[in-house]
Chain A
Amino acid sequence: MMPAPATLVRIPWRRVGLLSIGATLTIVLLLVALFAPWIAPFSPYEINVPERLQPPGAVHWLGTDELGRDTFSRTVFAARISVQVAAVAVGIGLLGGILIGLSSAYFGGAWDMIFMRNMDLLYAFPAVLLAIVIMAGLGTSMVNAMIAIGIIFIPGYARLSRATAQVVLRQPFIEAAITIGMSTPRILFREILPNIATPLMVAGAIGFAYAVLVESALSFLGLGAQPPEPTWGEMINSGRGQMTNAPWLGIVPGAAIFLSVLGFNMLGDGLRDFFDPQLRD
């Protein structure tokens, strides 16, 4: 009998492992957000004072808060807000960043200088603080949180789009496209954009993680979606007052933020390793 052949293809565990854990956590989060009404056993708003501050148990899996609302249900519904805010914010950031970055790289000159100087400026400023200032100006609401977080993403994505587009611009096929008289928008979006999509996708996944963090920081400070809407940040903030008798109120929503951020970060890192193994170490 022949000995079993040695594995010909070694599975690169580090490469696939990171990606699959990240993808799993991300998919779970998206499913929870999507199917929240079916997953949550209770309404996230329903006040039930006799059942207040129940520890985790058979009925309330993760306990109840000071108004008797089910912590698990609130955590599940809060995932919706986090995912919505992060998706819109990353969308705004990518759209603005790509427009500014691509056009800066393509047109160069004064246009490039003015835009990128401004981007550098915003980039040097602490992003969370900038988001807080924008929220102060716009007023506190979920939509404004999306806008504020989206704006703080623009500089980073603009810098990335510009740097990667500049590499693509030096390739002969761009020269060919210009020579045959292709229109500028077509060159920008049909020729250059697909060639810089991969790094932008990776940055998008990591941006998602950051957006979840900033959104929860804003709602922790009371600057995000307003109560009674459940958000992870607001839940931690109100849970802090019950640390001695109901520690789960502070622990559970934080764990949800942590796992979501971890998932998106690992997904981003995994995607990067997958598409560009050279970047690894």
Chain B
Amino acid sequence: MIQFIAVRLAAFVPTLLAISAVLFLAINVIPGGAAQASLGIKATPQAIARFNREHGLDRPLPEQYVAWLGKVLQGDFGKSLQSGTPVGPELLVRLALTLELAILAFLIANLIAVPLGCLAAYHHQRAADNAFIFLATIMGALPNFWLATLLILFFTVTLHWLPPGGYVPFVEAPLENLSLMLMPAISLGVVSSALLLRIMRTGMIEVISSDYIRTARAKGAGQGAVIWRHALRNALIPYLTVGGVEFSLLFGGVVIVENIFLLPGVGQLALIGISQRDYPLLLASVLLIAVVVLSANLIVDVVGAWLDPRRVRTVRSA
């Protein structure tokens, strides 16, 4: 197990380096945008050249990348091209919000997917099963930003139950924080529960038809005990892997949903970075999300190995 974790940790660093290189390249494919955005359309070529020299944008890309990476490794994420303030501290403050949103959304996704997936498997090939599969198909086709719009229309505009957006830190006012986070988390969570529900159902159907479950039934275990006590742990193994991927995918939606509900998170910062062509801002926020995503995948791998020790062996023999 320790060896397994060590192997995964060793893979973490090169993966992150490669992702950072991909992101850096993708953002800098077309040179010169930042100066134009910062100085305006009427900027003289001299002013643009000066801006580029000051910010090191006139050097070759690989050189820029190495310089940027060197600073990042020292914890310096650079300064915003627009405001001139360091990006790092700002990011850390925003990370708390983004993580809270992603975790709440993931929680909601699982609260929908696990029970309904188990129920669907339990009623395999009967009406209830078909109904849950249909529900998953519906949820999977909803764009999260449309769901968010509909939630605002219903709960804010029509019923006046929930505020349309804004943010208060959890430590200051927990209840208000949750009421502000509820709609964003639902719009993300419902959409990601679609795939999870299907995976839960398929995994559960497979486990229910296995020999040890038949034995448990033969020994007189009730239906509830069979599903929740005996089958769930094994059915969760394939579920967990997909869950890890789904958690990563949530961060794509975070950018959009933070924007809708005026949540000052990392995703919103990334968007500001794009609209103002503030590349240090954009790069740092996306890199931070990459770190979070990779860490989540690492944790999922380790928990998966703990649930299913067979996995550790395959890694060792590979």
A residues with CB within 8 A of B:
14, 118, 121-122, 124-130, 132-139, 209, 213, 216-217, 220-223, 233, 236-237, 239-240, 243-244, 247, 250-251, 254, 257-259, 261-262, 265-266, 269, 281
The 0/1 profile, CB within 8 Å of A marked 1, for residues 284-298 of chain B is: 001001100110010
B275 touches A118 (CB 8 A): no
Instruction: Name the one of A125, A136, A137, A223 contacting B293, with C-beta atoms under 8 angstroms.
Output: A125
Instruction: Name the one of A124, A222, A247, A254 contacting B248, with C-beta atoms under 8 angstroms.
Output: A124
Residues of B near A139 (CB, < 8 A) are: 30, 33
A258 touches B255 (CB 8 A): no
Chain A interface secondary structure, helix, strand, loop or mixed?
Answer: helix
Instruction: Name the one of B22, B152, B157 contacting A121, with C-beta atoms under 8 angstroms.
Output: B22
Known A-B contacts A136-B27, A213-B143; A122 and B253 likewise in contact (beta carbons under 8 Å): no
B 111-145 contacts with A by CB, 8 A: 124-125, 130, 137-138, 140-145
Q: What distance in Å separates the Cβ of A68 from its nearest Cβ neighbour in chain B? A: 22
B255 touches A243 (CB 8 A): no
A129 touches B282 (CB 8 A): no
B27 touches A137 (CB 8 A): yes
The reply to whether the CB of B2 lies closer than 8 angstroms to some CB of chain A is no
A250 touches B293 (CB 8 A): no
A213 to B256, CA, bound (A): 12
Known A-B contacts A221-B256, A247-B153; A126 and B250 likewise in contact (beta carbons under 8 Å): yes
A130 to B293, CA, bound (A): 13
A136 to B30, CA, bound (A): 9
A254 to B144, CA, bound (A): 10
Question: Which stretch in B169-177, B230-238, B266-274 binds the other chain?
Answer: B266-274
What are the 8 tightest A-B residue pairs by CB atom distance, in nearest-first order? A128-B252, A254-B146, A126-B252, A262-B141, A261-B141, A137-B29, A136-B274, A250-B149
Known: A126-B293, A269-B137. 16 other contacts (CB 8 A): A121-B15, A121-B22, A124-B293, A125-B290, A128-B256, A129-B270, A132-B270, A137-B27, A216-B143, A217-B145, A220-B256, A237-B145, A247-B153, A258-B146, A261-B140, A265-B137
B146 touches A236 (CB 8 A): yes
B153 touches A250 (CB 8 A): yes
B residues with CB within 8 A of A:
15, 18-19, 22-23, 25-30, 33, 124-125, 130, 137-138, 140-146, 149-150, 152-153, 157, 202, 205, 245, 248-253, 255-256, 259-260, 270-271, 273-275, 277, 282, 286, 289-290, 293-294, 297
A127 to B165, CA, bound (A): 26
A258 touches B270 (CB 8 A): no
Closest to A136 in B: B274
A136 to B290, CA, bound (A): 17
Residues of B near A240 (CB, < 8 A) are: 149, 152, 260
B289 touches A262 (CB 8 A): no
A281 touches B205 (CB 8 A): yes
B149 touches A122 (CB 8 A): no
- Interface pairs (14), CB distance under 8 Å: A121-B18, A124-B245, A125-B290, A126-B289, A129-B251, A132-B252, A132-B271, A133-B286, A137-B27, A139-B33, A217-B252, A217-B256, A257-B143, A281-B125
A-B contact count (CB 8 A): 133
Q: What distance in Å separates the Cβ of A96 from its nearest Cβ neighbour in chain B? A: 15
Q: What distance in Å separates the Cβ of B145 from its nearest Cβ neighbour in chain A? A: 5
Q: What distance in Å separates the Cβ of A213 from its nearest Cβ neighbour in chain B? A: 6
A248 to B146, CA, bound (A): 12
Closest to B250 in A: A126
A126 to B105, CA, bound (A): 15
A281 to B22, CA, bound (A): 38
B26 touches A137 (CB 8 A): yes
A243 touches B157 (CB 8 A): yes
Residues of A near B145 (CB, < 8 A) are: 216-217, 220, 233, 236-237
A125 to B250, CA, bound (A): 11
B157 touches A247 (CB 8 A): yes
Known A-B contacts A14-B130, A137-B28; A129 and B124 likewise in contact (beta carbons under 8 Å): no
Residues of A near B153 (CB, < 8 A) are: 243, 247, 250-251
Closest to A209 in B: B141
A133 to B24, CA, bound (A): 9
A250 to B294, CA, bound (A): 35
Q: What distance in Å separates the Cβ of B286 from its nearest Cβ neighbour in chain A? A: 6
Q: What distance in Å separates the Cβ of A223 from its nearest Cβ neighbour in chain B? A: 7
